[in-house]
């Protein structure tokens, strides 16, 4: 996966200023999440960036693209699965990456055997993920010893779903509905957008199987309460955003 992205991911996958302006200017309505104190609370795991990805004093998007590193993702995924403790109905976990960028983590999770879905709003990033996914599916593994395993992994990667969409759109309810393990790549999101995604996008109606949510920046406390989420842990994860981006 890492080699495929090095070959196929162009610099144009980074966020362009006009796209950033469009995202910043979205109509973010005031969050008015209902109180659901009688429901069993979900579990939220919050993972913090080691450096702030926002310019000091400015709660806005920065024209910079970053990701969770491959080396950090597998331990994070293991942690999510440990906190999840399995699904109540005995079905398999499903990993949902909101703000999936070029789809690296989605394809990685799929290769490990998880049903995986990535939702990315910026088209140029989404296209990179599709190109890498297709390239991996077309690779020829002629070694008889490794071919069966390679074919199995290719099948898993081919089953991953990369979507170019707004996670808050009504059309994405089906995509979110099967998710149990969620990652929200909100390192450079305004706090109000994080709150909106949590309180509007991850409601029990839209994400009924959600058991664990990981974020790269803290979720506002009032948003956690409104969404019946409980902060279980804060720790560090290695990312590619730098202190000014």
Taken as a whole, the chain contains a residue count of: 245
User: What is the structure's pLDDT at 57?
Assistant: 38
Q: pLDDT digits over 41-69, tens only?
A: 334 443 322 233 333 333 344 446 788 88
Beta bridge partners of 46: 215, 234
Indicate yes or no: pTM above 0.75: yes
User: What is the structure's pLDDT at 226?
Assistant: 87
Per-residue three-class SS string for 3-57: HHHHHHCCHHHCCCHHHHHHHHCCCCCCCCCCCCCCCCCEEEEEEECCCCCCCCC
Average pLDDT over residues 10-25: 41
Q: pLDDT digits over 204-214, tens only?
A: 899 999 999 99
User: What is the structure's pLDDT at 207?
Assistant: 93
How far is residue 82's CA from residue 137's CA, in Å, rounded to a whole number? 30
Q: pLDDT digits over 144-186, tens only?
A: 777 787 888 899 999 999 999 999 999 999 999 999 999 999 9
List the strands of the sheet with 229-236, edge to edge.
Answer: 161-164, 115-120, 94-98, 181-184, 212-215, 42-48, 229-236
User: What is the structure's pLDDT at 91?
Assistant: 65
Beta bridge partners of 162: 118
User: What is the structure's pLDDT at 188?
Assistant: 82
First to last CA, the chain: 25
Helix, strand, or coil (residue 159): coil
Question: 212-215 and 181-184: which strand pairing?
Answer: parallel
Q: pLDDT digits over 112-147, tens only?
A: 999 999 999 988 889 999 999 999 898 876 677 777
User: What is the structure's pLDDT at 70?
Assistant: 85
Give the model's confidence band at 242: pLDDT under 50 very low, under 70 low, under 90 confident, else very high: low
How far is residue 27's CA from residue 96's CA, in Å, rounded to a whole number? 24
Helix axes 123-138, 147-158, angle to 10 degrees: 150
How far is residue 193's CA from residue 50's CA, in Å, rounded to a whole number? 21
DSSP code of residue 186: -
């Amino acid at each position: 996966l890492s080699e495929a992205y090095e070959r196929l991911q162009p610099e144009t996958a980074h966020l362009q200023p006009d796209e950033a302006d469009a995202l910043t200017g979205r109509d973010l309505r005031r969050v008015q999440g209902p109180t659901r104190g009688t429901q069993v609370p979900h579990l939220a795991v919050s993972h913090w960036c080691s450096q702030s990805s926002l310019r000091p004093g400015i709660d806005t998007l920065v024209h910079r693209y970053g990701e969770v590193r491959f080396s950090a993702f597998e331990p994070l995924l293991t942690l999510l699965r440990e906190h999840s403790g399995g699904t109540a109905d005995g079905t398999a976990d499903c990993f949902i990456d909101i703000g999936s960028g070029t789809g690296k983590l989605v394809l990685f999770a799929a290769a490990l055997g998880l049903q995986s879905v990535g939702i990315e709003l910026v088209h140029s990033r989404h296209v990179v993920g599709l190109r890498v996914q297709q390239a991996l599916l077309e690779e020829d593994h002629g070694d008889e010893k490794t071919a069966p395993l390679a074919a199995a992994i290719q099948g898993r990667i081919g089953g991953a779903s990369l979507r170019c969409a707004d996670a808050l759109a009504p059309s994405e309810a089906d995509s979110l509905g099967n998710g149990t393990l969620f990652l929200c790549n909100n390192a450079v999101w305004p706090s109000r957008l994080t709150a909106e995604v949590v309180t509007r996008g991850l409601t029990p109606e839209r994400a009924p199987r959600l058991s664990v949510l990981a974020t790269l920046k803290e979720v506002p406390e009032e948003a956690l309460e409104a969404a019946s989420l409980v902060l279980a842990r804060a720790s560090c994860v290695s990312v590619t955003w730098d202190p000014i981006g």
